Amino acid sequence: MTRLIFYGGAGEVGGNKIYLEDQSTRIFLDFGKSFSQRSHFFDDPFLVPRELEDLLELGLIDPLDEVYKIRALHGNTRPVDGILLSHVHADHADHISLIHPVIPVYLGQVAKLILDSFATTRYRQMDNDTSELRFRTFRTGDRFKIGSIGVEPIHVDHSIPGAYGFILHTTAGPIVYTGDFRLHGPKRQMSLEFVARAKEVQPVAMICEGTNAFSPPNLNEEEIQRKLEELIAVSPGLVIVSFLFKDIDRYRSIFQAAKTQRRKLVISLKHAHFLRALRRDSRLDLPPLDDPDLRVLVRRRGCFYDWEVELRDAWEKTGRTVTAEGIAERQPEFLLTLSSFELPELVRIKPMPGSIFVMSMTEPTNEEAELDYDRLTHWLTHFGLPLYSLHASGHILPHDLRWVVQEVQPKELFLIHSEAPALLARYLSDVASVIRIPQRGEEAVLVGA
């Protein structure tokens, strides 16, 4: 028998935890953190869970004796055979830190490089510590088996490198798992290759993301770069851009816009560490870290982690560090990338009249994000910084999703990773024969073709 159980990602964006059982083989497709459920009880990084029981008591994870570290192997429980990660965004991967280390975690080679960087630069806490885990890496073209399940990973385009979809060969027939993907990004061809292979195998089921249902961003990276260049050209002061540094396509657009407009680009130490880690994979075609106009922002005071000291000293030897006070003295020369955690640097910079703030990430979609956005607007109001929004989604757009479903023609379509699955089900109802909207904890038995 082949069956699925949706422990996360059902009726919400993220938190993907999809159990797949085929004969005696049991695996999970992704093992992510649910931000929407977690925010009801915790507020990172101040109020965080300290033990696994905290999450169990509050219903934030299910009591899976065959998975979690302090429960697995108790009694006669046999651990699951593996966890497949599509990519390492937190909502797909962060809860691997909770699993028993005997369980292997399969992920792309680039995804492992990212986790290695995070292991150094993130403040370690109970639900992001991966130091004891057993990792096995793959690339597109690799094929391997986990028990009775044949695994075929194929790269897809997403807003983080090292993202994959999977073709899973089971006794009931092929199952397609999209992970997160898009067709409007700069690596569109990768997603098209995944779709072509998914069509070829004639799947009995496709488990598909449906993030974008309401007002999806409709820009692409080329348009973001062009519009950012236009904003820089008409801004006499400091230009500040906020984006998720894991998105190397966005970083590339920002880097090129800064070069075109002859501004020095300033990044954080954490971002520099991330880019240095990714340079171990030459296929990523990253902007050069030794560019003479690239700067790293360093603090003059405060406590520093060992990795920060090492990286700061290395960059200082090249003469390519800058402090907030240094930026303040020559604001028109810089394009500063700034995260929400670094907003206090504005107190020392004191942006001059004519400065702007560009938000280049997703708009707020829930109450917690609305609170963060409201807090940001208070900072911008205080410093007189107009807010511009330039973003291209990392998720497939509705019309592209429709085309994918028409192409692949799965026997059953499972819509996950969406806050509006019913809307998408109706939108796709004439191109999909059977559409299922799973609920958390719901089981689906797959019948072969």
In this prediction, residue 35 carries a pLDDT of 81
What kind and span of H or E run contains 149?
Answer: strand 149-155
Of 367, 389, 411, which residue is a domain's last? 389
Q: 13 and 83: one domain?
A: yes
Of 353, 371, 389, which residue is a domain's last? 389
Q: 402 and 385: one domain?
A: no
Q: 92 and 147: one domain?
A: yes
Q: Which amino acid is at 40?
A: H
Q: What is the DSSP letter of 84?
A: E
| Residue 18 structure tokens | 């999809």
Residue-number span of the structural domain to which 45 is assigned: 2-214+394-446
| Residue 440 structure tokens | 């958390």
In this prediction, residue 374 carries a pLDDT of 86
In this prediction, residue 148 carries a pLDDT of 97
CATH number at residue 17: 3.60.15.10
Q: 210 and 236: one domain?
A: no
In this prediction, residue 66 carries a pLDDT of 83
Q: 403 and 312: one domain?
A: no
Q: 248 and 341: one domain?
A: yes
- For residue 45, say if its preceding peptide bond is cis, omega within 30 degrees of 0: yes
Q: 206 and 245: one domain?
A: no
Q: Which amino acid is at 382?
A: H
Strands 294-297 and 264-267, sheet pairing: parallel
Phi (first) and psi of residue 4, to 5 degrees: -120, 145
Q: 334 and 295: one domain?
A: yes
Q: Report yes or no: 4 and 443 within 8 Å, Cβ to Cβ.
A: yes
Q: 317 and 360: one domain?
A: yes
- For the chain, residues with pLDDT lower than 70 are 45, 70-76, 215-217, 362-371, 449
Total domain count, the chain: 2
| Residue 426 structure tokens | 């109706």
CATH number at residue 331: 3.40.50.10710
SS3 content of the chain, % helix, strand, coil (to 5): 35, 20, 45
Cross-strand bridge partners of residue 145: 150
Report pTM. Answer: 0.93
Q: 96 and 150: one domain?
A: yes
Q: 196 and 325: one domain?
A: no
* Angle CA 431–164–244, to nearest 5: 105
Between CA 311 and CA 164 the distance in angstroms is: 31
User: What secondary structure does DSSP assign to 212-281, as a single string?
Assistant: --SS-----HHHHHHHHHHHHHT--S-EEEE--TT-HHHHHHHHHHHHHTT-EEEE-HHHHHHHHHHTT-
Taking only the tens place, the pLDDT of each residue in 16-49 is: 999 999 999 999 999 999 887 888 898 776 788 8
Q: Report yes or no: 245 and 314 within 8 Å, Cβ to Cβ.
A: no
* Angle CA 331–335–339, to nearest 5: 110
Question: What are the CB-based long-range contacts (under 8 Å, 24+) for 121-125?
Answer: 121/270, 121/273, 121/274, 121/305, 121/307, 123/45, 125/45, 125/48
Q: 202 and 230: one domain?
A: no
In this prediction, residue 370 carries a pLDDT of 46
